[in-house]
Amino acid sequence: MTAEIIDGKKLAETIKQEIKTAIDDRKRQSLPIPGLATVLVGNDPASKTYVASKIKTTAALGIRSLSYELDESCPQEKLEALIQELNQNPDVQGILVQLPLPSHLSEDNVLHTISPKKDVDGIHPYNAGLLSRKYSEPLFYPCTPSGIIRMIQSVCPDISGMDAAVIGRSSIVGMPTAMMLSRCNATPTICHSQTKHLDEICRESDIIVAAAGSPGLLKGAWIKPGAIVIDVGINHIPDETQPRGYRLVGDVEFDEAVKRAGAISPVPGGVGPMTIAMLMSNTLKAIDYR
Ligand code: NDP
């Protein structure tokens, strides 16, 4: 058996095309167009690449883009003052602060400063709180978990009653993904670095989401035959044969996993493009909260 490949790039293109059509319609009707402000602090090359990619996609879809770059040494007060200003700016519907921030800055305080109505990343504690409440809806669902759910539903629209293992419990990926799986009536087990018997939990799961940032952590042999596997990990492995001197791999032992899984997402070309597509989708939605 060879797994169906869940092509995140293709799925993301379809979602982005729908967003572009919606934006074009708004333009035709002279309705307001959403604006996304990106805030980059420092010179981290990966963060620069992610922000550049988000700005490029924003422009391609006809969303207005405002880009702010602050020095590595930027003080907390300056960053928070910029966010307060963006909160008040009627031309800005979404605010994205690229994480991680330099270590002298408090990410928590920065995230608290963003207005929940402009929190297009869906990670403000207000939105995270609503996500965790059974009968509440957050203003925005977090981007990467939303992309993961869309990918799972692309191969299995109804996951009700399925058992799921989520490897990782971060506030932006693992934890909200588990909550969203539960909202879809799956039964998630949240795994982390202290979890005993990770292999056994995985072997019993119909869905596995690997989001640990540990290359090859999920062994092919741990996968229940036919399971859906979403590989969220992005790991840079030194590779002299590549022009950039490294290659990207996920958290899944892909070559073995593909022989057992029913469907699997690749790295690259899986969750990454979906995260950006869901950011654009949230930015379009943000116009409703003006
Ligand atoms: P974090 O480092 O914040 O969290 C990693 C989680 O994995 C922690 O909960 C940690 O456990 C757990 N973990 C680490 N090692 C193991 C292990 N050996 N066994 C079980 N659990 C383990 O990372 P993020 O959630 O931010 O990101 C995870 C990965 O996803 C990274 O590779 C990141 O680059 C990628 N990513 C990809 C995105 C995309 O768009 N494709 C978006 C965001 C992230 P503990 O809590 O005990 O420390």
Looking at the predicted structure, is the pLDDT value of residue 34 above 80?
yes
Q: How far, in Å, from the CA of 193 to the mean position of ligand 1?
A: 10
Domains of the chain (ranges; CATH) run 29-115 (3.40.50.10860), 142-272 (3.40.50.720)
Percent of the chain scoring above 90 in pLDDT: 98
Q: Which among 152, 216, 157 has a CA at the least distance from the CA of 178?
A: 152
What residues flank ligand 1, with Cβ below 6 Å?
144, 167-170, 172-174, 191-195, 198, 211-214, 217, 232-235, 271-272, 275
Q: Which of 54, 108, 192, 246 has the most ligand 1 atoms within 8 A of CB, as the residue to mutate?
A: 192
Catalytic annotation, pick one of 93, 117, 118, 121: 121
Q: How far, in Å, from the CA of 249 to the mean position of ligand 1?
A: 14
Looking at ligand 1, which residue's alpha carbon is closest to its atom 18? 193
- Mean pLDDT computed over 209-224: 98
Task: For residue 54, indicate whether it is catalytic.
Answer: yes
Q: How far, in Å, from the CA of 198 to the mean position of ligand 1?
A: 15
Task: For residue 7, indicate whether it is catalytic.
Answer: no
pLDDT single digits (tens) 225-235 = 999 999 999 99
Q: Look over the chain and give the mean of its residue pLDDT values, rounded to a whole number.
A: 97
Asked whether the beta carbons of 268 and 248 are under 8 A apart, the reply is: yes
- Structure confidence at residue 170 as a pLDDT band (50, 70, 90): very high
Q: Which of 96, 111, 166, 169 has the most ligand 1 atoms within 8 A of CB, as the residue to mutate?
A: 169
- Structure confidence at residue 1 as a pLDDT band (50, 70, 90): confident
- Structure confidence at residue 238 as a pLDDT band (50, 70, 90): very high
- Structure confidence at residue 29 as a pLDDT band (50, 70, 90): very high
Task: For residue 196, indicate whether it is catalytic.
Answer: no
Q: Which of 195, 217, 232, 246 has the most ligand 1 atoms within 8 A of CB, as the residue to mutate?
A: 232
Atom of ligand 1 nearest to the CA of 147: 40
pLDDT single digits (tens) 91-136 = 999 999 999 999 999 999 999 999 999 999 999 999 999 999 999 9
Q: How far, in Å, from the CA of 100 to the mean position of ligand 1?
A: 13
Check the CA dihedral 248-104-36-285 and report its sign.
positive
Q: How far, in Å, from the CA of 283 to the mean position of ligand 1?
A: 25
Whole-number Å distance between alpha carbons of 97 and 88 = 16
